[in-house]
Structure 1
Amino acid sequence: LGKRTADVIPSSNYLLISDMGHDIPEPLWPVVVDAIHSHLMNSTSR
């Protein structure tokens, strides 16, 4: 479902992190923060 959602949203990125559910374990915070930061830096304001 997540991959399909990303496929239909323009300029979206799909990040699959193995064995992770809805809770983000603290060791993975840098991965998620980097992905969010990258997305924001590549976004345009409206």
Structure 2
Amino acid sequence: MLGEAVGETIMGISGLIIGFVSATGAATWYVENEKSRWEKDEAGKHIDTK
């Protein structure tokens, strides 16, 4: 029984770490995507103002 509890705890922690890494990766991708879109918008504004 103790072995099962330890195994479940390890699996639970691994799942949390994987979930956290996935969420962090998605957030990083989203920020980079938004930043590049914003830079394109800014570049477009500069071209329009000249």
Higher helix share: 2
Q: TM-score, normalised by structure 2?
A: 0.34
For CA contacts below 8 A with separation 6 or more, give which structure has more relative contact order.
Answer: 1
Q: Please tell me whether Structure 1 or Structure 2 has the larger radius of gyration of its CA atoms.
A: 2
Q: TM-score, normalised by structure 1?
A: 0.36
